[in-house]
Amino acid sequence: MTAIEVAGLTKSFGTVHAVRDLSFVVRRGAITGFLGPNGAGKTTTLRALLGLVAPTSGTATFAGRRYAEIQHPTHEIGVVLDTIRFHPGRRARDHLRVLALAADIRPSRVDEVLALVELTDAAHRRVGGFSLGMRQRLALAAALLGEPNLLVLDEPTNGLDPHGVAWLRGFMRSFVDVGGTVLVSSHQLAEIAQSVDDVVIVADGRSVLQSSITELGGPAELERTFLELTTAAPASQNGALR
């Protein structure tokens, strides 16, 4: 069953072709790693999926529906994008309370999500004093408020220390173990390679590979394939210099 389908997605910003005719699917009940080097078009694709930029052409849908067509998106889809903004003077728990109130979510859910992301001890602290890793956890807590069964995470390991990265991997796995689906982008292959079921590799706005890790032959093979597919251009330039 398909949770997300991106079909022929193209997005240009003037002369910059951020995404070019990109197609892939995200299987329900699996973690799909959306991998590619800096500037490959990952964030642009996720923004198009979430209705934050209008595609130049093509579609990006959740089981056939555009994000804007979903009646209660916070209850279906949890989103963490790479541009997280918090009111610096607000305490973590209050930040979540405001969001819960706005989305008609029971107030007791706030402490549940704080516990899920292991921020209970920092719940009373002002967000302005949070480390980047703590902000990532808080953003994830916010995404979980509506008890969604699908998570779209853009570079969620940014700012996390090794313990935090390991924790996130475990978190994603337990999320899908109970029936959830995760689409997670990263340019840090090593950080998520061990924890994804499927991969979509993009380079220069184009899909260069969609596969399950099993088909690829395991995480080690993924790393080799990724480097091979995403460094093709510089390698040939080096060749030309010789």
Ligand X SMILES: Nc1ncnc2c1ncn2[C@@H]1O[C@H](COP(=O)(O)OP(=O)(O)OP(=O)(O)O)[C@@H](O)[C@H]1O
The phi, psi pair for 165, rounded to 5°, reads -65, -45
From the list Mg ion, ligand X, none, pick the one residue 41 interacts with, judged by a Cβ distance below 5 to 8 Å according to partner type. Answer: ligand X
Least distance to ligand X from the beta carbon of 39, Å?
4
Least distance to Mg ion from the beta carbon of 19, Å?
12
Output 43 or 181, the one with its CB closest to Mg ion. Answer: 43
Q: How far apart are CA 128 and CA 35, in angstroms?
A: 30
Output 42 or 137, the one with its CB closest to Mg ion. Answer: 42
User: How big is the site for Mg ion, counted in residues (CB under 5 A)?
Assistant: 2
Least distance to Mg ion from the beta carbon of 184, Å?
12
Q: How far apart are CA 165 and CA 100, in angstroms?
A: 26
Q: How far apart are CA 242 and CA 236, in angstroms?
A: 10
Q: How far apart are CA 231 and CA 176, in angstroms?
A: 31
DSSP assignment letter at 90: S
Residue numbers of the site for ligand X (CB under 6 A)? 13, 16, 18, 36, 38-44, 187
Dmax (CA) of the chain: 64
In this structure, what token pair is assigned to residue 216?
């690829």
From the list ligand X, Mg ion, none, pick the one residue 214 interacts with, judged by a Cβ distance below 5 to 8 Å according to partner type. Answer: none
Output 12 or 120, the one with its CB closest to ligand X. Answer: 12
Least distance to Mg ion from the beta carbon of 124, Å?
32
**Sequence-separated (6 or more) residues with CB below 8 Å from residue 241:** none
| Binders of Mg ion in range 17-46 (CB under 5 A) | 42-43
Residues contributing to the site for Mg ion (CB under 5 A): 42-43
